[in-house]
Chain A
Amino acid sequence: MKKQSVFSRLTNPKYIMVYATIGIFLIIYAFGAFLYGDKGFMTVRTFVNLFIDNAYFGISAVGMTMVLITGGIDLSVGAVASLTGMFIAYGTSVLNLHPLTCIFAALVMGVSLGLLMGWVIHYLKVPAFITTLTGMFFARGVCSLISRESIDIKHEFIDSLASWKIYLMKYVDGNWVRIKPIAFINFNVILFVIMIIIGTFILQKTRFGRNIYAIGGNEQSASLMGLPVGRTKILVYGFNGLCSVLAGISYALYVKSGWNLSLQGGELEVITCAVIGGTLLTGGVGYMIGTLFGVLLKSVIPALITFNGNLLSWWGKIATGLLLLLFICIQRFVVTSSKLKKA
Chain B
Amino acid sequence: MQNVLEMKGISIEFPGVKALDNVDFSLRAGEIHSLLGENGAGKSTLIKCLTGVNRKDSGKIFLDGHEINPTDPGNAIDLGISTVFQEVNLCPNLSVAENIFAGRQPMKHGGINWREINSRASELMSRFHLDIDVTRPLSYYSTAIQQMTSIARAVDIQAKILILDEPTSSLDENEVQLLFDVMRDLRSQGMGIIFITHFLDQIYAVSDRMTILRNGHLIGTYNIDELTKFELVTKMVGKDMDVIFNLKRAEVADDSEFMLKAEHIGNASTINDISVSIKKGELLGFAGLLGSGRTETAQMLFGVNRISHGNITLEDHEIILKQPFDAIKFRIAFCPEDRKRDGIIGDLSIRENIMLAVQSREGFMKPMSHQEQVTLANKYIKLLGIATPDCEKKAGELSGGNQQKVILARWMAAEPKVLILDEPTRGIDIGAKAEIQRLMLEMCGSGVSVIFISSELDEIIRCSNRIVIMRDRAKVAEVDGANCTQNDILKIIAEGAA
Across the interface, do B103 and A227 meet the contact criterion of CB distance under 8 Å?
yes
B72 on interface, CB distance cutoff 8 Å:
yes
Q: Are A214 and B111 in contact (CB under 8 A)?
A: no
Could you tell me if B136 and A12 are in contact, using CB atoms closer than 8 angstroms? yes
Beyond A225-B91, A225-B103, 15 additional pairs, beta carbon < 8 A: A4-B135, A12-B136, A13-B140, A204-B111, A205-B110, A206-B111, A213-B94, A218-B90, A218-B91, A221-B91, A222-B91, A222-B102, A224-B83, A225-B153, A342-B142
Residue contact B112 to A204, C-beta cutoff 8 Å: yes
**Which single residue of chain A is at the shortest CB-CB distance from B52?**
A226
Q: Which residues on B sit within 8 Å (CB–CB) of A262?
A: none
Q: List 16 A-B contacts (CB under 8 A).
A: A1-B122, A1-B123, A13-B140, A207-B112, A213-B94, A217-B92, A222-B91, A223-B72, A223-B73, A223-B74, A224-B53, A225-B103, A227-B102, A228-B74, A284-B93, A342-B142
Decide if B136 touches A210 in the complex (CB within 8 Å).
no
Would you call the interface of chain A mostly helix, strand, loop, or mixed? helix
B98 at the interface (CB under 8 A from A): yes
Residue of B nearest to A221 (CB): B89
Chain A residues with CB under 8 Å of B73's CB are 223-226
Q: Check: A294 CB closer than 8 A to any chain B CB.
A: no
- A222: B residues at CB distance < 8 A: 91, 102
A338 at the interface (CB under 8 A from B): yes
B135 contacts which chain A residues (CB < 8 A)? Answer: 4, 9, 12
Question: Nearest CB to that of A216 among chain B residues?
Answer: B93
Name the one of B83, B91, B139 contacting A214, with C-beta atoms under 8 angstroms.
B91
Chain A, residues 1-31, CB within 8 Å of chain B (1/0): the string is: 1101000110011100000000000000000
Q: By the criterion CB–CB under 8 Å, are A214 and B122 in contact?
A: no
Nearest chain A residue, comparing its CB with the CB of B141: A342
Residue in A closest to B121 when the chains form the complex, CB atoms: A1
On chain B, the residues within 8 Å of A211 by CB distance are 102-103
B131 and A2 contacting across the interface, CB-CB below 8 Å: yes
Which residues of chain B are within 8 angstroms of A225 by Cβ–Cβ distance? 73, 89-91, 99, 102-103, 153
A213 and B93 contact, Cβ closer than 8 Å, known pairs A4-B135, A226-B76, A226-B103: yes
The interface residues of chain A lying within 8 Å CB-to-CB of B119 are: 1
Expressed in whole angstroms, the Cα–Cα distance for A1 and B153 within the complex equals 18
A9 to B137, CA, bound (A): 12
Contact residues in B for A217 (Cβ distance below 8 Å): 91-94
Q: B13-25 interface mask toward A, CB cutoff 8 Å, 1 = contact, 0 = none? A: 0000000000000
Instruction: Choose among A8, A205, A206, A213 the residue that contacts B91 (Cβ–Cβ < 8 A).
Output: A213
- Complex CA distance for A341 and B123, rounded to whole angstroms: 26
* Docked CA distance A334–B292 (Å): 26
Return the 9 tightest CB-CB contacts between A and B, nearest first.
A217-B91, A205-B111, A226-B74, A284-B93, A217-B93, A1-B119, A226-B77, A1-B122, A221-B89
A63 and B139 CA atoms in complex are apart in Å by 26
**A34 within 8 Å of B (CB atoms):** no
From known contacts A1-B123, A207-B105, A342-B139, infer whether A214 and B112 are also in contact, taking CB-CB under 8 Å. Answer: no
Contact B137 A14 (CB under 8 A): yes
Given A220-B89, A338-B139: A210 in contact with B76 (beta carbons within 8 A): no
Q: How far is the CB of A226 from chain B (nearest CB, A)?
A: 3
Q: Are A205 and B112 in contact (CB under 8 A)?
A: yes
Q: In residues 207-252 of chain B, which contact A (Cβ within 8 Å)?
A: none
Question: A205-B111, A207-B103, A223-B72 known; A1 and B77 CB under 8 Å?
Answer: no
Closest chain-A Cβ to B152's Cβ sits at a distance in Å of: 13
Q: Which of B111, B119, B153 has the most CB of A within 10 A?
A: B111
A36 contacts partner chain B, Cβ-Cβ < 8 Å = no
A111 contacts chain B at the CB level, 8 A cutoff: no
Q: How far is the CB of A131 from chain B (nearest CB, A)?
A: 21
Residue numbers in A under 8 Å from B133 (CB-CB): 2, 4, 8
Whether A201 sits at the interface, judged by CB under 8 Å, is yes
Chain B proximity of A269: nearest CB distance (Å) = 26
Q: Are A210 and B72 in touch, CB under 8 angstroms?
A: no
Contacting B137 at CB < 8 Å: which of A2, A13, A218, A220? A13
Query: A245 at interface (Cβ–Cβ under 8 A)?
Result: no
Closest to A228 in B: B74
**A284 touching B91 by the CB < 8 A rule?**
yes
A285 at the B interface (CB under 8 A) = yes
Query: Chain B residues with Cβ under 8 A from A14's Cβ?
Result: 93, 95, 136-137
B118 interfacial by beta-carbon distance below 8 Å: yes
Bound: A113/B326 CA distance, A:
51
What residues of B have a CB within 8 angstroms of the CB of A8 in the complex? Answer: 133
Most buried by B among A214, A223, A228: A214
B105 to chain A, nearest CB (A): 6
* B140 contacts A210, C-beta separation under 8 Å: no
Set of chain A residues within 8 Å of B51, measured between Cβ atoms: 224
Determine the chain B residues whose CB is within 8 A of the CB of A224 once the complex forms.
51, 53, 73, 83, 85, 89
Q: How far is the CA of A323 from the CA of B72 in the complex (A)?
A: 43
CA of A9 to CA of B142 in the docked complex: distance in angstroms? 20
A167 to chain B, nearest CB (A): 34
Contact indicator B98/A210 (Cβ below 8 Å): yes
Within 8 A of B (CB), among A288-341: 338, 341
Interface positions, chain B 74-118, Cβ under 8 Å from A, are: 74-78, 83, 85, 89-95, 98-99, 102-103, 105, 110-112, 118
**Nearest CB of A to B166, in Å:** 14
Across-interface contacts of A227 in B (CB, < 8 A): 74, 102-103
